[in-house]
Amino acid sequence: MAGVSLKCGDCGALLKSVQEAQEHAELTSHSNFSESTEAVLNLVCSACGKPCRSKTETDLHTKRTGHTEFVDKTEEATKPISLEAPKAAMDVDEPTSSSGQPEVCCEEMVAPEVDAKLLEELEGMGFPKARATRALHFSGNNSLEAAVNWVVEHEKDLDVDELPLVPANTKIEAPKAALTPEEVKQKAAELRERARKKKEEEERRMEREREKERIRVGKELLEAKRIEEDNERKRIMALRKAEKEEERRAREKIRQKLEEDKAERRRKLGLPPEDPATAKPVAPPVPVEEKKSSLPIRPATKAEQMRECLRSLKQAHKDDDAKVKRAFQTLLTYIGNVAKTPSEEKFRKIRLSNQTFQDRVGSLQGGVQFLELCGFEKIEAGEFLFLPRGKVDVSVLNSAGSELNSAINNPFFGVL
């Protein structure tokens, strides 16, 4: 496999080109280099895009900016290394040799000299030496604030952490007077205050983002709850519709059964089938004189009155068969208890305001009337239903029990 980097045998540093190896050798006096298949790291910060070439650089970047996410783009930037030394540029105005060819002068390149005190202060603030040197060199090497501003403006430069090189014979201007300790403290305080404000602004921005996210999640939860409630309402409506349809089919089935029974009875009696197109004749109204001269009408027996009372109760609540059946069973329990033990007063006295009694019997049309037909009387300003011991008629109670059993067990009771 072709080499993708040059490795310093003295310190283990990986270099991307021969030029970098030459610069490294000039700065460190290392001379043991070899071709390596180990690629130079290229870790790019996801937040600001700054490239880092080592774990140390990423740690320093995280400490200084707070950015922790890095993308490894080493493979994208990796390419076979060229071992050819870069050709020195030739100036057309340079002197030529006797053969007419321009004389090539390889000028020595060295790191620029910068103010040692300012460099030490920048390193104390967490900046790498190469970056601090570059910042002082390109900012004029005259103030700490100018160097920091240069770093802030050029922190995304690809070569921000590379040591700058200048010709060895370059004249270095004398640095301006160093800051006094008080000025250094003031500048440091200003820089810390600026960093604090920047951090607070970032925290406020993050808090706004989190609040937006909470609001968005809350809206999604409310919308999901609303959709769930709508679906539940639709499901309940569908169930009710299905129950009504089932009830309609049951009534239709009962009606057909009654029609079939009626036709069967006519057949057994030898009568012709009833013509559905023939309307039943309406009996003419009976004059008052004829009513007076007609036979006396037999009064309804107590059993018939009970039956009619139960039929009216079922007709009034025909949409709730369960409630009607529960009312019949409750009445049967009251009547059965009195018939079995007529001497027990607790079975012969019912509080009308009792919630259970009201739910099962009292609130239904005909429930109290049926008990009154059995002999119960309202006492104490209508607060109680009471059956006196002397008025207990077992035959009446038996008739009431028979009517209730018939109403409970006969599926066609109260239909017509």
Is residue 169's pLDDT more than 80? no
Q: Where are the domains of the chain?
A: 5-77, 109-167, 301-409
Confidence at residue 107, expressed as pLDDT on a 0 to 100 scale:
62
Mean per-residue pLDDT over the chain, rounded: 80
pLDDT digits (tens, 9 = 90+) for 341-365: 998 888 898 998 899 998 889 888 8
Query: Which neighbouring-strand residues pair with 378?
Result: 385
End-to-end CA distance of the chain: 101
What digits encode the pLDDT tens for the residues 64-118? 888 888 888 877 777 777 666 555 444 444 444 444 444 444 567 778 888 888 8
pLDDT tens track for 385-398: 898 988 888 888 89
Residue 260 has pLDDT above 60, yes or no: yes
State which fold the 109-167 domain adopts. Helicase, Ruva Protein; domain 3 (1.10.8)
Span 162-172, mean pLDDT? 70
Q: For residue 412, what pLDDT is reported?
A: 74
**Span 145-172, mean pLDDT?**
78
3-state helix, strand, coil in the chain (%, to 5): 55, 10, 40
d(CA 238, CA 232): 10
Among 12-26, 240-254, 392-406, the range scoring the smallest mean pLDDT is 12-26
Band (332; pLDDT cuts 50, 70, 90): very high
DSSP conformation letters of 161-191: TSPP-EETTPPPPPPPPPPPHHHHHHHHHHH
Alpha helices in 269-320 (DSSP H): 288-293, 302-316
With a pLDDT cut of 70, the percent of the chain lying above it is: 83
- Cross-sheet strand order for the sheet of 70-72: 51-52, 43-45, 70-72
User: What is the structure's pLDDT at 222?
Assistant: 92
CATH architecture of 301-409: Up-down Bundle (1.20)
Taking CA 85 as the corner, what is the angle to CA 83 and CA 86, rounded to the nearest 5 degrees? 125
